[in-house]
């Protein structure tokens, strides 16, 4: 009997596109959970209890002076939330009968009625939202970014070039993460836009967002001091480095602290002064349960330099970490904020001291070339100290070279002063 003819067709076994990660609110636990966090950030916590037949939302402020706790019934089925010093924002997806809705509890308003609601056009769903200072940003399934004033006026609308992953804001800054393409074999292909909605609306950057291989974005937000930060599903925390042409520098790997592969740290906030990655340790899980009330842990910053078990590596890590954290002072003061001037000068002093320590170590190791490289990074005062150190150690050739550098630095400072006077 004839054997069935089986045609040998070409079967694709090359790289496969990764399913694009879904839109999410950074600081929330998954929507399918009965009890979940809709938002946990540095202002407060929004919990959602979806117990049949009741569905409710609990809002709690870390600082009760900002506002007292609130308990709302969630008849509309809000799924997304954000919370700021000015307002609480909630949104629900649409259904066949009902439009997707945005609800803002603008508690900092002096009006009697502090609530406002907006219905989205039909067939358009809120996918991500955030509260900035004085504004609300909403990304929708129509690939639109809709801005509102915190009082509920509609503002600008613009198109996104890919579906949204998340949005976040700080002061005038708005960040949108979106799918810029399709990643392969476990990678995502995300893009990040940073805009300033100040007096003039400006696009500050629009670039690919770096992630660890085979990971997705798990948190995005601004440090308390206004620097953009990301966390990927492999636990790498990165900070946008303004002094490095807006590249991203890894500042912490939460996995370094995990005892087991199945333990995770769920990041809720990043602070620069003092430097802290605030997060909730989750045993055997990616997300914390709402009960018992999770405890917050604090992880330190650490830049992944090489050989950090050596004295040299340690000092280098400290120096570059300190330099990175120095950036926000300039940003804040140029944005019109008051800054912690004591912390600023403490940082600058620390960096000079670290340069001196590295200088001394290089001297000890007979690495005079490095001593000169370090001197170039020093302030004029520190170079003077370095010259003394070299002379005392009998390194007259080195002291000579350093004198030249000191002279150059003196000239440069003079020129700068002259420029500033003009």
Q: How far apart, in whole angstroms, are the C-alpha atoms of residue 249 and residue 277?
A: 14
Q: How far apart, in whole angstroms, are the C-alpha atoms of residue 147 and residue 217?
A: 24
- For residue 420, which phi and psi values (nearest 5 degrees)? -65, -30
The residue among 64 and 108 lying less far from a second copy, judged by its C-beta, is 108
Verify binding: residue 171, a second copy, rule CB under 8 A.
no
Interface pattern 370-389 for a second copy (x via CB under 8 A): x-xxx---------------
Q: How near is the Cβ of 241 to a second copy at its closest, in Å?
A: 6
Burial of residue 381 (number of CB atoms within 10 Å: 0-12, 13-18, 19+): exposed
Q: How near is the Cβ of 322 to a second copy at its closest, in Å?
A: 13
Interface with a second copy in residues 27-86 (CB under 8 A): none
Interface with a second copy in residues 275-334 (CB under 8 A): 303-307, 313, 316-317, 320
The residue among 10 and 53 lying less far from a second copy, judged by its C-beta, is 10
- For residue 377, which phi and psi values (nearest 5 degrees)? -85, -10
The residue among 48 and 317 lying less far from a second copy, judged by its C-beta, is 317
Cβ count near 74 (within 10 Å): 18
The residue among 64 and 366 lying less far from a second copy, judged by its C-beta, is 366
Interface with a second copy in residues 227-266 (CB under 8 A): 238, 241, 243-250
The residue among 191 and 281 lying less far from a second copy, judged by its C-beta, is 191
Cβ count near 89 (within 10 Å): 27
Stretch that binds a second copy, among 52-60, 204-212, 221-229, 331-339 (CB under 8 A): 204-212
Q: How near is the Cβ of 248 to a second copy at its closest, in Å?
A: 4
Q: What single string gives the DSSP state of each residue in 273-320?
A: TTEEEEEEEETTSSS--SSSPPPPEEE------S-TTSHHHHHHHHHH
Number of residues interacting with a second copy: please give it, by CB under 8 A: 93
Partners of 103 in beta bridges: 90, 117
Q: How far apart, in whole angstroms, are the C-alpha atoms of residue 367 and residue 79?
A: 60
Interface pattern 135-164 for a second copy (x via CB under 8 A): -------xxxxx--xxxxxxxxxxxxxxx-
Verify binding: residue 394, a second copy, rule CB under 8 A.
no
Candidates 180, 216, 264, 409: give the one binding a second copy (CB under 8 A): 180
Verify binding: residue 130, a second copy, rule CB under 8 A.
no
Verify binding: residue 212, a second copy, rule CB under 8 A.
yes
DSSP code of residue 244: G
The residue among 159 and 260 lying less far from a second copy, judged by its C-beta, is 159
Closest CA to 77 of 63, 61, 97: 97
């Amino acid at each position: 009997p004839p054997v069935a003819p089986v045609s040998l067709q070409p079967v694709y076994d090359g790289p496969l596109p990764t399913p694009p990660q879904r839109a999410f609110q950074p600081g929330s636990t998954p929507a399918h959970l009965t009890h979940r966090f809709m938002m946990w950030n540095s202002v407060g916590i929004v919990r959602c209890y979806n117990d049949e037949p009741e569905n409710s939302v609990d809002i709690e402020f870390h600082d009760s002076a900002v506002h007292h706790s609130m308990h709302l019934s969630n008849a509309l089925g809000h799924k997304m939330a954000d919370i700021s010093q000015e307002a609480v924002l909630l949104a629900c997806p649409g259904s066949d009968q009902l439009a997707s809705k945005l609800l803002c509890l603008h508690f900092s308003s002096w009006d009697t009625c502090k609530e406002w609601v907006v219905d989205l056009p039909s067939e358009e769903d809120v996918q991500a939202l955030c509260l900035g200072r004085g504004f609300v940003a909403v990304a929708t399934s129509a690939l639109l970014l809709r801005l509102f004033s915190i009082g509920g006026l509609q503002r600008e609308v613009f198109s996104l070039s890919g579906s949204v992953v998340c949005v976040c804001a700080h002061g005038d800054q708005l960040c949108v993460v979106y799918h810029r393409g399709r990643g392969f074999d476990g990678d995502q292909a995300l893009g990040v836009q940073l805009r300033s909605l100040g007096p003039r609306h400006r696009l500050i950057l629009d670039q690919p967002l770096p992630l660890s291989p085979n990971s997705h974005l798990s948190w995005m937000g601004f440090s308390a001091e206004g620097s953009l930060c990301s966390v990927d599903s492999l636990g790498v925390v990165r900070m946008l480095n303004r002094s490095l042409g807006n590249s991203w520098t890894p500042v912490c790997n939460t996995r370094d602290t995990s005892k087991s592969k199945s333990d995770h740290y769920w990041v809720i906030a990043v602070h620069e002064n003092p430097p802290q990655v605030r997060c909730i340790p989750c045993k055997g899980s990616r997300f914390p349960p709402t009960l018992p009330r999770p405890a917050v842990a604090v992880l330190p910053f650490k830049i992944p330099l090489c050989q950090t078990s050596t004295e040299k590596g340690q000092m280098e890590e400290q120096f570059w970490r300190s330099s990175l954290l120095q950036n926000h002072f300039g940003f804040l003061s140029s944005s019109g904020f008051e800054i912690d001037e004591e912390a600023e000068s403490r940082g600058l002093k620390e960096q000079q001291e670290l340069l001196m320590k590295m200088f001394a170590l290089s001297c000890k190791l007979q690495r005079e070339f490095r001593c000169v490289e370090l001197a170039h990074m020093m302030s004029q005062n520190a170079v003077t100290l370095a010259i003394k150190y070299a002379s005392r150690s009998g390194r007259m050739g080195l002291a000579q070279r350093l004198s030249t550098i000191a002279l150059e630095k003196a000239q440069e400072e003079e020129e700068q002063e002259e420029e500033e006077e003009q």
